[in-house]
Amino acid sequence: MAQGKPPIAVLFVCMGNICRSPTAEGVFRKLHQELAPELDIEVDSAGTHAYHVGEPPDARSYAAALGRGVDISDHRGRQVTFQDFHDFHYVIAMDSDNLRRLQALRPKSGGAELRLLLEYAPQAGLLDVPDPYYGGVAGFERVLDLVEAGGRGLLEEIRKRHG
């Protein structure tokens, strides 16, 4: 870790910040610890809407993540702020709808790189991480598979650019 250099800051964003983005935050934190602990990275998540501010993760997201050794129990939902576009190097949307919302919210002076998570996982064959909220348990497992693939690609990109 370079002295005096700020950590690489990554923000994962979905709609309500109780399913996909906290799962991505937890999975990415674990990948970072396991695969690139030498990199100084900070991770957070937020939602484009204020539906679940202050709430814990959806119980199904929590259970699915814990089943893979990812504990997201400390997470509490929050909404994206204008400051996030200044504080984070990467603002990573879970789907195209939330990417459009982020593009509309982004201040002109915001320097964050704004991308879809699955742009870092072309092998996934899709760009949007589907919202599992109204579906069954299989949807939450699918989210875990996709965010792990995207997280691995993003971590590799960070390593190339900042490592």
Residue of 14, 44, 84, 101 marked catalytic: 14
Q: Is 131 a catalytic residue?
A: yes
Residue of 58, 95, 128, 131 marked catalytic: 131
- HEC profile of the chain: CCCCCCCEEEEEEECCCCCHHHHHHHHHHHHHHHHCCCCCEEEEEEECCCCCCCCCCCHHHHHHHHCCCCCCCCCCCCECCCCHHHHCCEEEECCHHHHHHHHHHCCCCCCCEEEEHHHHCHHHCCCCCCCCCCCCHHHHHHHHHHHHHHHHHHHHHHHHHHC
Q: Is 95 a catalytic residue?
A: no
Q: Is 78 a catalytic residue?
A: no
Residue of 19, 20, 60, 101 marked catalytic: 20
State the catalytic residues.
14, 20, 131
